[in-house]
Amino acid sequence: MQIRLTNITKSFGEKNVIDDVSLSIDSGSFTTLLGASGCGKTTLLRMIAGLETPDTGEIWFGDKCIFSSEKKINIPPEMRGLGFVFQDFALWPHMTVFENVAFGLRAANNTENLESKVMEALRAVQLKDFAKRYPHQLSGGQQQRVAFARAIVIEPECILFDEPLSALDALLREEMRTELKELMSKLKITAVFVTHDQTEAMSMSDKIAVMHAGVVDQYEEPEEVYAHPSTEFVAKFVGSSNWIDEHQMFRPEKASLTPSSDGKKFDVEVLSTQFLGNAYEGKMKYKDQIWSYVTSSKMKTGEKVSLYLNEKDIVRV
C-alpha cells in the first residue's frame, strides 16, 4: 500500500509540531522516520494511524483519501486497516499469547478460521510453541514478537512501528532488527518505522526521512543520506562528521594517514585514543575542531600526525 502525505501541518496550542510535510511512501517498502526527541516523527506516525488529526493537508492510502482537511474526510483509526506496534509492547497481562494475538481479530468480529490465523502469525515470529504462555513468562524479545504477531494477524497492508526496539538490550535489539526486516520483506507489508537510533534506520530502511523541528530535512536511501547530507543538521545528526569549517565536512573513514598525489593534507594533534576491540578511535584537534579517526594502530596522546583527504570526499552543506 502506497502512503502519500500532502502539506500536513499540526500544532498543539501555539507550538507548531509538523510544518507542511509532504511525503510519498512506496508500497511494500520499509521507511523510517528518523530524528531526535521532539522533532515530530511520532506525531506524524500517529496522524497516519488516525490517532492524531492534522490541522491541514491530506493523507492517501493508495487511491483512497483517508484524511482531508479541505474535503472534511477523516477515516477513524479502526477503519484504516493498519497494524500498530508500540514501544511498550502493550500486551494484556491476563491473556495468553494466543489470546493477545487473537484480540484484534475478535475486536473486528473476524473470527472465521481464527485459530489457524493466530497460529500462522505465531509461526511467522517463531512462537508457535508459546501460545499458552502469559506475557510475564516470556523474555523481552519474545514479548516483542507477540506484539509483531498481533500486528500481522489482521493481515494489514501497512504496519506502523513506534520505537518498538527501544526497550530491548543492545544484543537483542540487533537480533530483532534483522528478524523484523526479514519478516516485513517476506510478508511484503509496507512498514513505517519511527526511531531516534541511526543504526536501526541505516540497517533496516529502504528510505529514511530525517526529521528536524517538524520538517523533513532529507528523504532518500540510507546511503545517500549518509554520503550526501542535504543540510547541516543531517550531516551532524547522521553518522560521525569531521568539520573543516562551517560549510565543509567529511566522514572519518574517508581520511587516510597515507599521502596521496591528489589528497589534501591536514595537520592534526592526537588528543586521546580509545580501544574499540578491533580498532582504535583517535580524537584529534584540527584548528578549533575535534575530529575522529579510526585506525588499526594505537596513537600516542600529543602526537602530531597528518591526515590526507581526496577532494571528492569533502561534503559541502
The identity of residue 95, as a single letter, is: M
pLDDT at 294: 93
Spell out where 248-303 has E strands: 248-250, 263-275, 280-286, 289-295
Burial degree of 19 (CB within 10 A; 0-12, 13-18, 19+)? middle
What is the grid cell recorded at 270? 592526537
User: Could you tell me the strand order of the sheet in which 207-212 lies?
Assistant: 82-85, 158-162, 190-195, 30-34, 207-212, 215-220
Domain boundaries, the chain: 3-227, 249-316
Global pTM reads: 0.91
- The model's pLDDT over 249-276, given as tens digits with 9 standing for 90+, comes to 999 999 999 988 778 999 999 999 999 9
The mean of the pLDDT values for the chain is 94
Locate 226 and state its grid cell: 549518509
Q: Looking at residue 30, what is its pLDDT?
A: 97
Structure confidence at residue 107 (pLDDT)? 87
The model's pLDDT over 116-159, given as tens digits with 9 standing for 90+, comes to 999 999 999 999 999 999 999 999 889 989 999 999 999 999 99
What φ, ψ does residue 34 adopt, rounded to 5°? -115, 135
Q: What is the mean pLDDT of residues 9-38?
A: 96
Classify domain 3-227 by CATH number. Answer: 3.40.50.300
Tell me the β-bridge partners of 4. Answer: 24, 60
Asked if the 249-316 domain carries CATH number 2.40.50.140, the reply is yes
Does residue 284 surpass a pLDDT of 90? yes
- What is the percentage of the chain residues whose pLDDT exceeds 90? 84
pLDDT in the model for residue 239: 92
Residue 294's region, left for phi above 0, alpha for psi from -120 to 50, else beta, is beta
DSSP 28-55: T-EEEEE--TTSSHHHHHHHHHTSS--S
pLDDT in tens, 161-179: 999 988 788 888 888 898 8
